[in-house]
Amino acid sequence: MKKLYLGLDIGGQSIKGIALDGEGRVAGEYSAQTPGPQGTEAVLSAIEAGIEGLGSHGTVVSVGVGTPGGVDKEGRVVGMSANIPGWFGTALGERILRMAKGAPTVVRNDGNIAAYAEWAVRRDQSKILLFVGLGTGIGGGYVIDGEILGGRNDRALEIGHCIVEPAGRRCVCGVEGCAWTSP
């Protein structure tokens, strides 16, 4: 059985996954609509289906996951997600570790993990990389010398939560005028 390295991106609209072999070749891909309105357990079931499907191509040796919101050192979601009710407080790292049958698992903010992935595949190995992601939300990540500058709870570049319109619409985070709420 070949060794597989899995990557998952949990987004507001979709969950996407990829399995790479030891040579960096694509061994499998996964995509599903994020069942966010159905709640946390439905989202976790979709993630588990992805891990099982991707893992069927070999032996899973590690899993990297990007998720909306902040993530603490234990892999617990500590930021709000407008598209996944109840996501706050989910022990995502622990749940994915079980789904992946104990394979080492890393869970980070989606913007940070995207920034690191982009940095890692660049041939020039730039010292500094800034990533801005536009999807269901607005996020980003910053990498210096191969280290993610995640800040407290991995939320340093949650660009969607920068105030751009004081006294604007109220965001799911409770603040008025976040970029995420602006038309």
- Together in a domain, 76 and 154: no
- HEC secondary structure over the chain: CCEEEEEEEECCCEEEEEEECCCCCEEEEEEEECCHHHCHHHHHHHHHHHHHHHHCCCEEEEEEEEECCCECCCCCECCCCCCCCCCCCCCHHHHHHHHCCCCCEEEEEHHHHHHHHHHHHCCCCCCEEEEEEECCCEEEEEEECCEECCCHHHCCCCHHHCECCCCCCECCCCCECEHHHCC
- Together in a domain, 101 and 140: no
Report whether pLDDT(15) > 90: yes
Domain encompassing residue 128: 112-181
pLDDT single digits (tens) 20-50: 999 989 999 999 999 988 889 999 999 999 9
- Together in a domain, 73 and 149: no
Share of the chain above pLDDT 90, in %: 57
Q: Is the pTM of this model over 0.95?
A: no
pLDDT single digits (tens) 72-90: 888 888 777 777 888 888 9
- Together in a domain, 71 and 147: no
**Which CATH number goes with the domain that contains 74?**
3.30.420.40
Q: What is the total count of domains within the chain?
A: 2
